[in-house]
Structure 1
Amino acid sequence: MKIAVVSDTHMPRFAKALPLALREGFAREEVALILHLGDFTAPEVAERFAAVAPFDAVAGNNDGPELQQRFGRRKVLDVGGVRIGMTHGDGDGRTTLARALGAFAPAEVDVILFGHSHAPYCARHGDVWVMNPGSPTDKRTNPRYSWGVLELREDGVFPALHYYDDKSAGGDHGSSSG
């Protein structure tokens, strides 16, 4: 099973529609679930993702009360026996990574997904995979837009980050993985 991981879409400010490269990536990877790690900034953004595949999320610091009530700020999902911790990663003190790691008790999860910094990150911390997919619409100081995939297989969890250059809803986009 493949799970798409996105965060920090900040729509409609940074994009009016889901980027073509992102939609094509979802199709190419044949994602069965999409997880969003907050900062939608508009409730209808959740519906755009839900129209593509089954969907779940947590709200971020730029999301209003409707999204916070609908999704909450922290959750643990069990997907095929893999415990996935989701948090936006904002808060006081420490780094975004440190806040994400601190959001879950030891051995509570197999994977921690977080956003907030817009900086792609994927590394193993002990027995736990930790991923920030970056942003598919607001790359900030990063060279490319990004999103992630978690592949859940019988032999383990395999995360990957995917990058692209053009966030437009159509046209040439220079999509590639990396």
Structure 2
Amino acid sequence: MIKVGILSDTHIAKITEQFRKNCVSAFAGCDAIIHAGDLTDISILSTFAGKDVYGVCGNMCNPATRQLLPETKIICLNGYSIGICHGTGPRHNIEERLLRLLPGTDCIVYGHTHIPTCHKTGDTLFINPGSFQGTGNYGAPGTYGVLHINKDSLKGSIHELVR
């Protein structure tokens, strides 16, 4: 089994001690990390040294980060294809647009809306971990996702940060 920690919309320019503590707590035991964009600065990914890290840029990333990270990425873990994209535009049909952008993937991980969700539509598992820093609308708490990948199943879940 592979355990993947998923976060998005961190919106911080430098690593703080609280961010580091939250990451250690949330992603203990994870084999890999997916950051679905709006990390703001690529240095944030250094928090996950020693793990496989997959990231994409988002609309709030600085120019240097946009140069280094793609807008979309497809990875294969344990035989499953996982599409990663921050997302853009209005939220009302974002998953339809992502399906067109990342067709045939088993799982699509995205951010942008700050609304955590984990559900299956057709054959595709959608995971939006929400905003890790809790910068969601109206002071929503920080959230993240976890993806468990077995030989014959994908299972996702959403969790609230414990501070």
The structure 2 residue matched to 1:122, chosen from 118, 124, 129, is 118
Deviation at 1:65, TM superposition (A): 3.0
1:16 aligns with 2:13: no
Deviation at 1:53, TM superposition (A): 1.8
Give CA deviations for 1:20-41 in whole Å, capped at 9, x if unaligned.
24321211xx100001010011
1:5 aligns with 2:2: no
The structure 2 residue matched to 1:131, chosen from 127, 131, 135, is 127
Distance 2:91 2:152 in 1: 37
C-alpha contact (below 8 Å) 1:59/1:73 kept by paired residues? yes
Task: Name the structure 2 match of 1:102.
Answer: 100
Task: Name the structure 2 match of 1:149.
Answer: 146
Structure 1 gaps, min length 5: 166-172, 174-178
C-alpha contact (below 8 Å) 1:10/1:138 kept by paired residues? no
Deviation at 1:154, TM superposition (A): 1.9
C-alpha contact (below 8 Å) 1:19/1:137 kept by paired residues? no
Q: Return the letter of the residue paired with 2:123.
A: D
Distance 1:4 1:89 in 2: 19
C-alpha contact (below 8 Å) 1:8/1:134 kept by paired residues? yes
Task: Name the structure 1 match of 2:30.
Answer: 31
Task: Name the structure 2 match of 1:75.
Answer: 73
Q: Return the letter of the residue paired with 1:3.
A: V
C-alpha contact (below 8 Å) 1:22/1:136 kept by paired residues? no
Task: Name the structure 1 match of 2:159.
Answer: 162
C-alpha contact (below 8 Å) 2:120/2:126 kept by paired residues? yes
Q: TM-score, normalised by structure 2?
A: 0.87
Task: Name the structure 1 match of 2:107.
Answer: 111
Structure 2 gaps, min length 5: none
Supply the RMSD in Å over aligned alpha carbons.
Answer: 2.1
Q: TM-score, normalised by structure 1?
A: 0.80
Counting aligned pairs with the same residue, the percent is 29
**What is the number of residues matched between the two proteins?**
160
